[in-house]
Amino acid sequence: MTSRIPSQTTGPQTTSPRATSPQATSPRATSPSPSTPGRRTVVKAAAATAVVVPLAAAPLTATPLAHAAENRPAFRHGVASGDPLPDGVLLWTRVTPTAEAVPGSGKGPDTAVRWEVSEDRDFNRLAASGSVTARAAADHTVKADVRGLRPATDYYFRFTAGSAASSEGAPENPSEGSPKASPVVSPVGRTRTTPAHGATAPGVRFGVVSCANWEAGWFSAYRHLADRPDLDAVLHLGDYLYEYASGGYPVDEDVIRQHAPLHEIVSLADYRTRHGHYKTDPDLQALHARHPVIAIWDDHEIANDTWSGGAENHTPGTEGDWSARQAAAKQAYFEWMPVRPATEGTVYRRIRYGSLADLHLLDLRSFRSQQTTVGNGDVDDPERTLTGRAQLDWLKKGLAASRAQWKLVGTSVMISPVAFGSVPAHLLGPLAELLGLPKGGLAVNVDQWDGYTDDRRELLAHLTDLGIRDTVFLTGDIHMAWANDVPVKAATYPLSQSAATEFVVTSVTSDNLDDILHVAPQTVSLVAAGAVRAANRHVNWLDMDSHGYGVLDVTAERSQMDYYALSDKADRDATSSWIRSYRTLSGTQRVERAEQPVR
């Protein structure tokens, strides 16, 4: 995502007492069914863990606890699950074996870790268990790819470290002290498997988020999603973290809280430290402990405007070899995220929810050509690619072969075209910052699908030529909420065909139009949004003011996105309120407004 000149949001001041973490209750009945100044120049702990109380009384969320003994292992970064399957799920945690073994340090002994999965939160009905070793080589992160579980079922999981945990070939932690010391137990997490392949699922519901900048605000959106008992999973569509130096984005005077390390992250140790710092946030820990997270990356997990051979925010002469930086960023990502790496170190993959929905997840950074300049015709060059040939073929094949009612596509950048039209001159600059456009306002966003039109043309032609219906693109990146039809020919729409629909969610905290201009909501956005919609008749709705999240509810009849806004991203106790809902009915390829959110 193109760098922006940000500021602190001015918004509604409604607050509420900070919500307490939900206790473990099963949200559903279990189912046993089978150089010169430029953008780069402009944008340049937690307590340790104690031996826990009996698990029946432990909170479901992974709030860091007090540490009873400095030389004992600790679970300071919570627990997480992700990439669910009908018979399994990927579990994650990070062990701090000794006080000096902080993320990115490379210090600390190998430590045995045991994991358990249970059908009840008291762990009286174990469904699976095993052991793994937390090693410094992986920054003491561990993953367990659990199988043998039942489809469409809630499970609870936890980890233990210390004298009772064992792993083949793992030494006892020499810093434990007495061999009779009690094991340290992690907080308890809840996860959920997907329906069996081919099984009829009445519905599936996802939280949808993107663009969480630590320095730009509090992660209240995660807390509100963690508080919902009705979600099957949370989709994170990229920019889970940001790589900038402190005060680079946003600028120093608008920083709400400082991240770590304070410098721009470049090395493997840097990326590990930043990931570890993010995972000390209690609202982020709560989200991971309550729901499986299905994540893809965008650019800021690596560097701004990443492409296969470099990035706008990378200077080889002073920041080293690009391939080394990219490899470090990806290694840290796979260590710290509950994501199964696909082949070639990518995140494109497919997750199925019975016969109702196939979720196709894209990697739009690893294989793309370098972003071009606007106005020279290179955006239409068929030799340039956003997806890479192999990934585009994989996506087309998967869409054509899918027998699911809905084909959901997780894409980190917007596929719908955007033109400016007659946007007032004083708004062109801020909108250009958000949309990645030159301040002259030409109708191309070169960091998104607009900059790689041949890939988009080929994909949309594939959908229309084969009659593939009910395709919905789910998107983040641009810090605004949109509800779009995806036209085959935008210039003649709506007289021409729509190939799909697209729901874009706003940012968790990263700056929007109001933040850039330091104005109250709707001061300028009503005019700007009206002008954008007038020039883009496929855009049904556009919100430039809010920070928040979406909830996508999918049934056989429709896919509906409910949009929620936070009262104030600068308030760690921010409230959440529903603002709009849009849906696409099966077979229509068009977006329409829904009058109320799904209950």
Distance CA 455, CA 393 (A): 11
For β-strands 126-134 and 558-566, DSSP reports them as unpaired
pLDDT for the residue 170: 43
Cis previous bond, 261, omega within 30: yes
pLDDT for the residue 174: 45
Q: What's the distance, Cα to Cα, between the start and end of the chain in Å?
A: 33
Distance CA 316, CA 175 (A): 42
Q: How far is CA 281 from CA 107, 500, 571, in A?
A: 23, 37, 14
Cis previous bond, 250, omega within 30: yes
Close Cβ partners of 136 (under 8 Å, ≥ 6 residues apart) = 101, 106, 107, 108, 109, 110
Structural tokens at position 359:
């979720």
Structural tokens at position 580:
């709009």
Q: Where do runs of H (alpha helix) occur along 445-512?
A: 453-465
Do 113 and 133 contact (CB within 8 A), yes or no?
Answer: yes
For β-strands 558-566 and 576-585, DSSP reports them as antiparallel
Structural tokens at position 503:
């729901």
Q: What is the DSSP string of 525-577?
A: HHHHHHHHHHH-TTEEEEESS--EEEEEEE-SSEEEEEEEEES-TT-TTB-EE
Close Cβ partners of 121 (under 8 Å, ≥ 6 residues apart) = 24, 55, 56, 60, 156, 188, 190
Buried b (16+ CB within 10 A) or exposed e, 356-365: bbbbbbbbbb
Mean pLDDT in order along the chain per 10 residues (599 residues): 38 36 35 34 28 32 42 95 98 97 97 98 98 98 98 98 58 47 93 96 97 98 98 98 96 96 98 98 98 98 97 95 97 97 85 98 98 80 96 98 98 91 61 55 73 96 98 97 96 93 98 88 86 91 97 98 98 98 98 95
Q: What is the DSSP string of 393-415?
A: HHHHHHHHH--SSEEEEEESS--
pLDDT for the residue 24: 34
Nearest Cα residue to 9 out of 561, 523, 550, 578: 523
Q: In what order do the strands lie in the sheet with 293-295?
A: 141-146, 89-94, 79-82, 293-295, 233-236, 204-209, 548-554, 558-566, 576-585, 592-594
Please name each of the domains of the chain with its CATH number: 55-192 (2.60.40.380), 204-594 (3.60.21.70)
The amino acid occupying position 273 is T
Dihedral, CA of residue 586, residue 588, residue 589 and residue 591, to nearest 10: -90
Q: In degrees rounded to 5, what are phi and psi of residue 156? A: -120, 150
pLDDT for the residue 579: 98
pLDDT for the residue 39: 33
Nearest Cα residue to 548 out of 515, 509, 517, 593: 509
Do 138 and 335 contact (CB within 8 A), yes or no?
Answer: yes
pLDDT for the residue 180: 57
pLDDT for the residue 535: 86
pLDDT for the residue 378: 86
Structural tokens at position 277:
């710092």
pLDDT for the residue 54: 28
Dihedral, CA of residue 131, residue 136, residue 139 and residue 145, to nearest 10: -20
pLDDT for the residue 429: 65
